[in-house]
Amino acid sequence: MPYSGLLSSFAPLNGKFRIFDTRTQHPKANVRYMIKRPDGREEEGLSDAQGDTHVFGSDHSETFKLFLFEEGLGSLAI
């Protein structure tokens, strides 16, 4: 069962990404992103002040893909 929005924090497995500037290595706020789930669903958002995406979750292990719409950015799963 996929979890989204506020329910993600209650998912047995949850996580988020931290987006950063690859040149400075500093977190990057207000970056538009899209997370694609294995079932094809897409969740869009803007990174927060710490460069973090929203929390996403599931009740089983999944591989999520993060798409960034700016050049020169990287990400870490946290």
Backbone angles phi, psi at 63, to 5 degrees: -105, 115
* Domain residue limits at 17: 2-77
The rounded percent of the chain whose pLDDT value lies above 70 is: 86
Residue 8: the pLDDT is 56
Q: What's the structural domain count of the chain?
A: 1
Would you state the structure tokens that stand for residue 73, as one six-digit string?
A: 């950015």
Sequential DSSP letters for 17-68: EEEEETTT--B--S-EEEEE-TTS-EEEEE--TTSB---EEESS----EEEE
Type of residue numbered 26:
H
Min mean pLDDT across 5-19, 24-38, 45-59, 61-75 is at: 5-19
Q: In the prediction, which pLDDT does 63 show?
A: 84
Confidence (pTM): 0.81
